[in-house]
Amino acid sequence: MKLTVELGDRSYPILIQPGCLQDASVWSECVAHTEVVIVTNDVVAPLYLEAVKAGLDKPGRRLLSLILPDGEAHKNQATLTRIYDFLLQNNLSRKVVLVALGGGVIGDMTGYAAATYQRGVDFVQVPTTLLSQVDSSVGGKTGINHPLGKNMIGAFKQPVAVLIDPTVLITLPGRELSAGLAEVIKYGLIGDADFFGWLERSMPDLMANDAAAISEAIYRSCAAKARIVAADETEQGLRATLNLGHTFGHAIEAEMGYGTWLHGEAVGTGMVMACSMSRRLGWIRDDVYTRALVLIGQAGLPVEVPAKMTPDSFMTHMGRDKKVESGQLRLVLLTGLGQAVVTADFAPKALTETLREACGGVA
């Protein structure tokens, strides 16, 4: 299966194909560079690094690899500097291509390094988690976390290709699979009621990591993301709807410490909160909220905020959200199943009551 992110002369393919990681013919179509650096982590490297090397290796090519520590806690300036150090110490030129082999953390950091090393080099996304396959690898958002906010330092940098091998998900822990399903569910909630219905019927197969169901979910999610990115590459309007639940979720991640809750887990709970607030405003029916709550729970995701969270802690972190404009907090909310808006036009009381309810009535 193949999709294209239509961005004029910066368009690029998304290939969804079992075994593509080690397929030399696939690699030859998207990487002609003589200098290649594979950036991965210490969890993925033992599983898939040699396969990717086999696909990329050819006479006359300088092929190097850098293995970083795994986890959201390492998505920071110190780890980014390790990438720069490696590139400089090996005298790599502006003609190098970086290959991001890993989940969203590796993809975001490698992409940001590619955006900034010698003012920009090419990179390829090779996502190995469901979350990165359906979301973060597509669209060119790159960056690192700051102690005061998630993904607050970064750049838009489109890859030259996205290579997705669904078979790598065989080694994905169940918790990571559920985290990825949060982003899959998001596409149904914000723009495709039919897809949401398919997810309701298919969730048992998805939770069982059924190959056909997973491939279908990846394809439909990437197709949705590609359409949105093509229409709004730098998130001036439509693309912001992809952040359903993220403003609440990022607050959980920051307060709990990056990596304590997986990104998808925090987004799952954040989507429950966004749906709750949408219902409170009278924008969606009770049954839409209930269906969302049930499906998120069936995906193995938390639907309640951690006990540590308070309305004040939410507001502190949400005040730093990238969607804040002129001091006004904007949220992604639903006006129906498959219909989302980005708005600051909501009653403040609805947000206050949503936070209070989510935090167990804590004022």
**Which of 33, 157, 263, 330 is flagged as catalytic?**
263
Selecting among 72, 183, 216, 233, the annotated active-site residue is: 183
**Is 75 part of the annotated catalytic residue set?**
no
Catalytic residue at 183?
Answer: yes
186 is catalytic: no
Catalytic residue check, 74: no
Q: Is 146 a catalytic residue?
A: no
* C-alpha closest to that of 274 among 257, 288, 259: 288
Q: Catalytic residue, from 33, 150, 220, 225: name it.
A: 225
Active-site residue 50, yes or no? no
Residue of 235, 253, 255, 265 with catalytic role: 235
From 33, 53, 150, 246, active-site residue: 246
Residue that is written with structure tokens 């998130």 in the block: 235
76 is catalytic: no
Radius of gyration of the chain, Cα coordinates, nearest whole angstrom: 20
| Catalytic residue (choose from 33, 74, 75, 141) | 141
Choice among 74, 239, 323, 330 that is catalytic: 239
Cα separation, 268 vs 297, whole angstroms: 9
Residue 209 annotated in active site = no
Residue 322 bears catalytic tag: no
Which of 243, 253, 255, 265 is labelled catalytic? Answer: 243
Among 33, 250, 279, 323, the one annotated catalytic: 250
Q: Determine whether 291 is an active site residue.
A: no
- Catalytic residue IDs: 119, 141, 183, 225, 235, 239, 243, 246, 250, 263
